[in-house]
Amino acid sequence: MDVVYPRCGGLDLHKAKIVACVLVPGVAGRPAKEIRTFGTMTADLLELADWLRAADCTHVAMESTAVYWKPVYNLLEEEFTLLLANARHLKAVPGRKTDVRDCEWIATLLRHGLLQPSFVPPRPQREVRELTRYRTALVEERSAEVNRLQKTLEGANIKLAAVASNVVGVSARQMLEGLVAGETDPVVLADLAQGRLREKLPQLQRALSGSVGPHQQFLVAQQLAHLDFLEATIEHVSEEITARLRAVEPPTTAEAPGASTAPDDALARLQTLPGVGQRTAEVLVAEIGLDMRRFRTARHLASWAGLCPGNHESAGKRRSGRTRKGSRWLRSALVQAAHAAARKKETYFAAQYRRLAQRRGSKRAAVAVAHSLLGCVYALLRDGTTYRELGADYFVQRDPAAYARRLVRGLEQLGHKVTLEPADPAA
């Protein structure tokens, strides 16, 4: 096979050690091989960099093992061309797996150009990505704490969730603080309601008539304090994300004029999409970046995100169209946006969701809408445009004859005989 990178290295990463292999040109066209083992402390990684530099190594490949690749990548990315490879693409011959053989195999594949590198964004984007993912984890933790609070209230026979849609809203929060303070009169507690919730005073009085013990008062107090802490932390992280996104330098090139957009403009354009708010837009920018040249088409972006149908065909039979694994952070944000877009009336995405949900189910419909949203995100970031609504009747206007046939077929299935006559234009 042809040699693409004559001086290269392969790293087998672990928590406490790194086994490295360097391949350089040798005698008679055969590569000379050297293998060493390093630790994972900063001093050890600097020693690894010196060793690679002494061998005039130009390209280094490593396996994307958990988070162990991150410190190595951060320290080596400025001096070497790094390739982070998917572990599924690096499987060697079964039964011959050792750390030494693994690093040799990685270096051999890299030498012949047989490795497909994973997308690793620049350092500023990676830092914003860590912040957005941490915020998502905090939001999930907040939801989990609200569920714990509801379980505590159920144990005290307080049915506040059956009347109030939000058990941590302004009115509900005052009632819970009253319970923590020792107030047990349901009439007094229900009178703390504000706004439209006061229309449900009789129901609130019945829902707040329970038996709250001292340990439940303690639990509710701790859970409310935890919720306050999480909300404050989420707000602080959001402020840091906003500041860092403003400091990100957009790509500037004459070949892709649409990509040279400031982050604030990109966030504003993304929020023109149905179902996409400020936080979702920040997640999208953090996960895929602003430069769409790294993805050749919107379909390549959807494939990378794991939102396109899978391919599993054998002997001419299609066995499964299940989507493959992608970034769970990007996927979850887009699916949430898809559910929100599906609830927005008189929109293309709502029509697409209803059209697919009745045949394929709500989950598949949400993934399909998320796929369409991601295609729009690609176009907005690539071309520097805003979203243009197609309308809820897009599928009808696209092929009116097919829509009419579908309606006729439905009536015929109900036992009716249908004859279509064109309307008189003069009428």
Once rounded to an integer, what is the mean pLDDT over residues 167-196?
92
pTM of the model: 0.86
In this predicted structure, what is the pLDDT of residue 258?
A: 44
Same domain, 171 and 105: no
Q: Among 56-60, 200-204, 230-234, 306-310, where is mean pLDDT lowest?
A: 306-310
Query: Which residue do the tokens 């690609």 mark?
Result: 378
In a domain, 375, yes or no: yes
Which pLDDT score is estimated for 95? 62
Is residue 303 located within the same domain as residue 209? no
Do 53 and 86 have their domain in common?
Answer: yes
Per the structure, the count of domains in the chain is 3
Q: Directed axis angle between helix 263-270 and helix 362-383, to 10°?
A: 140
| 70 and 34 housed in the same domain | yes
Of 121, 192, 112, 123, nearest to 160 by C-alpha is 192
Q: What is the pLDDT of residue 251?
A: 65
Residue 426 within a domain? no
Mean pLDDT across 196-206 = 92
Range in 210-214, 280-284, 314-318 the model is least confident about: 314-318
Q: Which of 44, 76, 111 is the last residue of a domain?
A: 111
pLDDT, average across residues 213-235: 95
Tell the residue number behind the tokens 């360097």, with chain if given: 22
Answer whether residue 254 shows pLDDT above 80. no
161 and 239 fall within a common domain: yes
HSE-CB at 124 with a 13 A cutoff on CA atoms is 14
Would you say residue 96 has pLDDT above 80? Answer: no
33-77: pLDDT as tens digits: 999 999 999 999 999 999 999 999 999 999 888 889 999 999 999
What pLDDT band is residue 310 in, cutting at 50, 70 and 90? confident
C-alpha 417/C-alpha 294 separation (Å) is: 55
Q: What's the rounded Cα separation, in Å, for the pair 366 and 335? A: 6
59 Cα distance to chain centroid: 30
Whole domain around residue 294: which residue ranges?
Answer: 267-311+321-383
- Rounded-to-integer distance, Cα 359 and Cα 350, Å: 15
Q: What angle do CA 201, 205, 206 make, to 5 degrees?
A: 120
Q: Is the pLDDT of residue 257 over 50?
A: no
Does residue 393 sit within a domain?
no
- The confidence score (pLDDT) of residue 253 equals 52
Residue 425: pLDDT band with limits 50, 70, 90: low
Mean pLDDT: which of 46-60, 312-326, 413-427 is highest?
A: 46-60
- Give the Cα separation of 294 and 119 in Å (integer): 8
CB proximity list for 232: less than 8 A, separation 6 or greater:
none
Nearest to 121 by CA among 384, 329, 268: 329
Phi, psi of 398 (to 5 degrees): -65, -40
Same domain for 90 and 131, yes or no, is no
Q: Which of 148, 147, 171, 163 is nearest to 209 (CA)?
A: 163
Q: How far apart are CA 216 and CA 151, in angstroms?
A: 10
CA distance 408 to 406: 5
pLDDT exceeds 60 at position 4: yes
Alpha-carbon distances of 385 from 283, 321, 376, rounded to whole Å: 19, 32, 10
pLDDT of residue 252: 60
CB 133 within 8 A of CB 43: no
pLDDT digits (tens, 9 = 90+) for 391-419: 888 888 888 888 888 889 889 899 888 88
Q: Does residue 47 contact residue 128 with C-beta atoms inside 8 Å?
A: no
Judge whether 226 and 145 are in contact, CB under 8 Å. Answer: yes
Total number of residues shown for the chain:
427
Say if residue 129 is in the same domain as residue 240. Answer: yes
pLDDT beyond 70 at 322 = yes
**Across residues 365-373, what is the average pLDDT?**
94
pLDDT at 90: 74
Give the Cα separation of 210 and 331 in Å (integer): 42
What is the arithmetic mean of pLDDT over 68-97? 84
Residues 224 and 330 in one domain: no
Predicted local confidence at residue 420, as pLDDT: 84
Average pLDDT over residues 196-214: 91
Specify whether 237 is located in the same domain as 271: no
User: For the chain, what is the mean pLDDT?
Assistant: 89
CA distance 194 to 356: 40
Residue 217 has pLDDT above 80, yes or no: yes
With residues binned 3-state (H G I as helix, E B as strand, rest as coil), the percentages for the chain, rounded to 5, are 55, 10, 35
Q: Which of 63, 84, 111 is the last residue of a domain?
A: 111
Checking if the pLDDT of 318 tops 90, the result is no
pLDDT tens-digit series, residues 356-365: 998 889 999 9
**pLDDT value for 261:** 67
Say whether pLDDT at 91 is over 90: no
Q: For residue 403, give the 3-state DSSP assignment.
A: helix
Residues 182 and 282 in one domain: no
264 confidence band (pLDDT: 50, 70, 90):
confident
CATH number at residue 68: 3.30.420.40
286, 129 contact by CB (below 8 A) = yes
